[in-house]
Amino acid sequence: EVQLVESGGGLVQPGGSVRLSCAASGFTFSSYAMSWVRQAPGKGLEWVSSFSSGAGGDSTYYADSVKGRFTISRDNSKNTLYLQMNSLRAEDTAVYYCAKNLPIDYWGQGTLVTVSS
Amino acid sequence: EIVLTQSPATLSLSPGERATLSCRASQSISSYLAWYQQKPGQAPRLLIYDASNRATGIPARFSGSGSGTDFTLTISSLEPEDFAVYYCQQRRKWPLTFGGGTKVEIK
């Protein structure tokens, strides 16, 4: 059974940093692209970042809204995906979902990040 | 960036009725479109991928069609558990983008 369990969310001050983790199980983690998708309270889904691996090597992609502030990474030995979030703003407040594959076929339950003073 | 426009924003129907949801892309995305269902307090669930392929475990009452710029998700006969928000998403080009969603509510 595929499981994606996010952690690391919480309350953070504007300008602060937080690192999200996503522990994956039930599939060969290293074989799949992984992504982060967020959802602000009462709003729709917004893609944040993806990490893919192919014949040409690893590739990372970011939404313009987070480029230069967020960094996606993965540790295949630990079956874990990360999202380092720096220079956080109020508009980054959202539930952050970890997601497997493209198209996304499994989602975690999400972790809430609240950016507020 | 490819913009996905979903319509209508809200669809008010009764159980047993047919639901037709639309997703229009600002440029051709071939068949690289997925549909997701999200219920309150839950993560999204994949329904349809590559425009017309049902994901594992998805009932046959859900079907997808279209290619290029115009796509449709059809629920042939609404069950009580189908009232939710539906999103389309394209993976033809980076950045990945989602539509704004269609809420299917009980009339």
Q: Which residues in B lie closer than 8 A to residue A104 (C-beta atoms)?
A: 34, 36, 44, 46, 89
- Contact of B76 with B61, CB cutoff 8 Å: yes
- In 3-state terms chain B splits into helix, strand, coil percentages (rounded to 5) of 5, 50, 50
Q: What is the per-residue pLDDT across A1-15, written as a single tens digit (0 to 9) for each?
A: 999 999 999 999 999
Q: Minimal CA–CA distance to A23: which of A41, A8, A38?
A: A8
Q: What is the pLDDT of residues B19-68, one digit of tens each?
A: 999 999 999 999 999 999 999 999 999 999 999 999 999 999 999 999 99
Per-residue pLDDT, B69: 98
**Residues A6, A21: Cα–Cα separation, whole Å:** 6
SS3 (DSSP) at A6: strand
Burial per residue of A7-27, b for 16 or more beta-carbon CB atoms within 10 angstroms, e otherwise: ebbeebeeeeebebbbbbeeb
The two tokens of residue A29 are 């983690």
Shortest Cα distance from B106 to chain A (angstroms)? 19
Contact A44 B98 (CB under 8 A): yes
CA atoms within 13 A on the CB side of B34: 21
Does residue A84 contact residue A71 with C-beta atoms inside 8 Å? yes
User: CB distance A103–B46 less than 8 Å?
Assistant: yes
CA–CA min distance B44, chain A (Å): 7
- From chain B, pick out residues whose CB is under 8 angstroms from the CB of A46: 98
